[in-house]
Amino acid sequence: MVLEATMICIDNSEWMRNGDYSPSRFQAQADAVSLICGAKTQSNPENTVGILTMAGKGVRVLATPTSDLGKVLSCMHGLEMGGEMNLAAGIQIAQLALKHRQNKNQQQRIIVFAGSPIKHEKKALEMIGKKLKKNSVALDIVNFGEDEDGKPEKLEALLASVNNNDTSHIVHVPAGQNALSDVLISTPVFTGDGEGGSGFAAAAAAAAAGGVSDFDFGVDPNIDPELALALRVSMEEERARQEAAAKRAAEEATRQEKGEEAQPQSDSQNATMNATEKASDPMDEDDALLKQALALSMNIPGSDSSAGDAQMSEATNDDQEFALALQMSMQDGSKDSSDQSDVSKVLGDQSFMSSILSSLPGVDPNDPKVKDLLASLPSQSEPQEKKEEDEQPKDDK
C-alpha cells in the first residue's frame, strides 16, 4: 500500500530476440512489465508507473509516471529491438523522470530489466547506486537473459550501493520452464517489501502457478496471507460439516429403525421423525447441525424412558421439537397441527430456549428470525406447558 512512483527500464536490445525464455526474451519481459504495472496500480490507486527503453538509438522515455494503466500498456506495443542497452544512462534518466513526478509525496522506485551484457564498470555502477541512495530512490533489478562473466557481480554491487534498509531487491531469473512473470510474482519486486502483496499478484499466482506451487491451495501465504488463511479455514469448516453430515446419516439409519418400534411418548416424536425425513432433502448448513443435535437427542428417548433422567427426557423432547420448529420456520414447509402445539409449548420456555440456542453451533442467538420465533410463541405455550408437566411425573417412573 505504499505510495510509489515507479519507472520501469526495459531492455530492448538485440539480445532480446533470443528464445530461451518462451516465446522470446522480449515477449517474456513485456508480460512481466504488464503484470508489474497492474500490480502497482492496484496496490494503491495513486501509484504511478512510467516506462523507458534503454537500447535502440538511445534511451527513450515512452511514458512518464502516470496512473493510467491503459496508456502504459499501449506503450509496450510496437516496440522494436535493436542496439545495445545503456544501463547507466537508463537509470539516470529514470531518476530524472522520477524527480519531476507530480506528486512529491510518492516514494521513488526504479525497476530495471537487465537482459543483455553490461558494458559499464563496477565502479561506475556503484557511483550511480550511491547517487540513487542519496536521493532515496529504491532500485529493483531483474537479471535475466545473457549470463556473462561478472554480470551478476556488477549487479550485486549496484544493489549493495543503492540498498537502504532492504528497500531494493535483485532477482536472478534463469532460462527454463517457468515464465519470467511467474518467477517474478513470488518475489519482493511484486509483493513490495514484504507487505503481503496485492490481491492482483495473488490471483495471478493462483492462476498461473497452479501446478508449480508447493503450497496447499495454490496461493503463496507470503504473497497473500489473508487469502491462504481464508482458504484453509473454509476447508476445515467443510471437513467438519461433512463429518457431521456423515455422522447424522449414520444415526438417522439407526434412529429410523428404533423410532418405528418405540412407543411414542407424545405425538411429537413421530411427527419430528416425519419432519426430519421430509426435511432431509433440502440441506442448509444450519439444518445439518440441527439435524445432528436432533439425531443425538433422538437416540436417548428411543431406548427407554425410565432409564433416562426426567430432566433429560424433557430436554431431549424439547430439543427435537425446537430443532423441528426452527427448521420448519426456515423452510416454510408444511406443518402438522400437533407439531405446532408441541413446538409452541417448547418454545414458551424462554430460558431453556436460549441455552439450547447457544449450544447449537449453527444457530446465531441474535438472528432476528430466531428472536421473532421466541417472541411470538410464549403466549401459545402456557396451556401446553401444563400438559407437559403432567407428562413429566409419568416419565419419572
Partner 1 sequence: MSAAESATAIHRNQVDLLDFIDWSGVECLNQSSSHPLPNALKQGYREDEGLNLESDADEQLLIYIPFTQVIKLHSIVVMGSEEDGPKTVKLFANREHMGFSNVSDFPPSDTVVLSQDNLKGKPVVVKYVKFQNVRSLTIFIEDNQSGLEITKVQKIALYGSTVETTDMKGLKKIEDH
Sites of contact with partner 1 (CB under 8 A): 99, 104, 130-131, 133-136, 161, 164-165
Please identify which residue in the block is written with the cell numbers 542519496: 134
Positive or negative, the CA dihedral 216, 219, 223, 228 is negative
Provide, rounded to whole angstroms, the least separation between the CB of residue 120 and partner 1.
19
Judged on CB neighbours under 10 Å (0-12, 13-18, 19+), 263 is exposed
Our CB check for partner 1 shows the closer of 188 and 348 to be 188
Provide, rounded to whole angstroms, the least separation between the CB of residue 139 and partner 1.
13
Q: Say which residues have a Cβ less than 8 Å from residue 342's Cβ, sequence separation at least 6.
A: 266, 267, 268, 271, 321, 384
Provide, rounded to whole angstroms, the least separation between the CB of residue 118 and partner 1.
21
Cell of 151: 554480470
Provide, rounded to whole angstroms, the least separation between the CB of residue 62 and partner 1.
23
Our CB check for partner 1 shows the closer of 101 and 291 to be 101
Provide, rounded to whole angstroms, the least separation between the CB of residue 164 and partner 1.
6
Our CB check for partner 1 shows the closer of 104 and 397 to be 104
Residue 19, SS3? Answer: coil
> Which of 127, 141, 30, 22 is CA-nearest to residue 78?
30
Q: Say which residues have a Cβ less than 8 Å from residue 354's Cβ, sequence separation at least 6.
A: 365, 374
Our CB check for partner 1 shows the closer of 47 and 161 to be 161
Provide, rounded to whole angstroms, the least separation between the CB of residue 24 and partner 1.
38
- Strand pairing class (48-53; 60-66): antiparallel
Our CB check for partner 1 shows the closer of 34 and 164 to be 164
Our CB check for partner 1 shows the closer of 136 and 306 to be 136
Cell of 309: 433422567
